Amino acid sequence: SAVISQKPSRDICQRGTSLTIQCQVDSQVTMMFWYRQQPGQSLTLIATANQGSEATYESGFVIDKFPISRPNLTFSTLTVSNMSPEDSSIYLCSVEESRGETQYFGPGTRLLVL
């Protein structure tokens, strides 16, 4: 199984600033996923990040707002740019085993924007 860590675990930020969330996996994975979970809601996929190519964004999410880096097979970052209170959410990094048998999630980054 994959072990995923995220930094920071939580943060409180001011409106208009940006926060970069880091995701580290203990094994090499092809695809990494970034999700958002707003209070009381289920998970919504933001984008899929492949190493060596541009991230693929879901409807409603754009690269200018959520730029993603994927410099190697074990690491990715998600930046939440020009934050507003509506961005207050839990942001989760996820990977899938190469055989697609299961999906592993990081512990999440709890973001509060004031």
Where along the sequence are the contacts to other proteins (CB under 8 A)? 4, 31, 33, 41-45, 48, 92, 94, 96, 101-108, 110
User: Where does residue 49 rank: exposed (0-12), middle (13-18), buried (19+ CB within 10 A)?
Assistant: buried
- The torsion region of residue 82 among left (phi > 0), alpha (psi -120 to 50) and beta comes to left
CB of 82 to other proteins, least distance (A): 26
Which one, 71 or 107, has the nearer CB to other proteins?
107
Contacts of residue 26, defined as CB under 8 A and 6 or more positions apart, other chains included, come to: 2, 3, 4, 74
CB of 105 to other proteins, least distance (A): 3
Which one, 45 or 73, has the nearer CB to other proteins?
45
**Residue found by looking up tokens 């930094």 in the block:** 7
CB of 52 to other proteins, least distance (A): 17
Which one, 75 or 81, has the nearer CB to other proteins?
75
CB of 78 to other proteins, least distance (A): 14
Which one, 16 or 107, has the nearer CB to other proteins?
107
User: What is d(CA 108, CA 91) in angstroms, rounded to the nearest whole number?
Assistant: 5
